[in-house]
Amino acid sequence: GRSQNSVMLLRSELFSLPHSELDVAPAGWEAGDLLAVRTNVAGGTSLMLASFHGDTNGLLTEPVIEAVVRQLQPTEPLIFGLDANTHQLRSASTAYVLDFQNAYRRLGLQACWDNEVGVPPVTTFNARTFLQPQLNKAVGSAELSEKGDKNPKDYVLFSK
């Protein structure tokens, strides 16, 4: 496994106890990648909060969102922070950002980037250096823009 865990911290002044973790069975993703919690906002309104660390290619992101949305109670709001790992270029091996937008909108969600025109802004821009054993993955500084990982991967989704 990847030994990664999704976590969230809830401010006790804003969220009342008890918080209950939802049992969303992994369907391709690993235990720890998804955390979904049902809680109450101080004052009593039920709310679902979720966090997901996606697979490298983003292909599990849409199924995870669908699984979480199926757990929602009628009219229950959702706030979902995720590393969706979506990509600007369409490829059979990666999640395409505009397909992802269509998917979450079809599920009645909107994103923090929805006021942007077209493709959401880049949230990841990095590349491997030559100081690592897989030299075939290294990117020189002159090639950073064309060969680096420069994609709109991070989102906060929420109910409309």
pLDDT score of 124: 84
Q: Do 158 and 76 contact (CB within 8 A), yes or no?
A: no
What's the predicted TM-score (pTM) here? 0.85
Whole-angstrom Cα distance, residue 140 to residue 128? 9
pLDDT at 3: 67
**Cβ-based neighbour number of residue 50 at 10 Å:** 25
Are the C-beta atoms of residues 12 and 19 closer than 8 Å to each other? Answer: no
Greatest mean pLDDT among 98-112, 121-135, 139-153: 98-112
The confidence score (pLDDT) of residue 78 equals 97
pLDDT band at 81 (very low <50, low <70, confident <90, very high): very high
pLDDT at 77 (0 to 100) = 95
What tokens were used for 11? 């401010």
The three-state (H, E, C) secondary structure of the chain, written as one string: CCCCCCCCCCCCCCEEEEEEECCCCCCCCCCCCEEEEEEEECCCCEEEEEEEECCCCCCCHHHHHHHHHHCCCCCCCEEEEEECCEECCCECCEEEHHHHHHHHHHCCEEECCCCCCCCCCCCEEECECCCCCCHHHECCHHHHHHHCEEECCEEEEEEC
**How far is 26 from 60, CA to CA, in rounded Å?**
10
* Mean pLDDT, residues 120-148 taken together: 81
Q: Is the pLDDT of residue 1 over 60?
A: no
pLDDT 10s digits, 24-61: 888 888 888 899 999 999 878 899 999 998 888 999 99
pLDDT band of 2, cuts 50, 70, 90: low
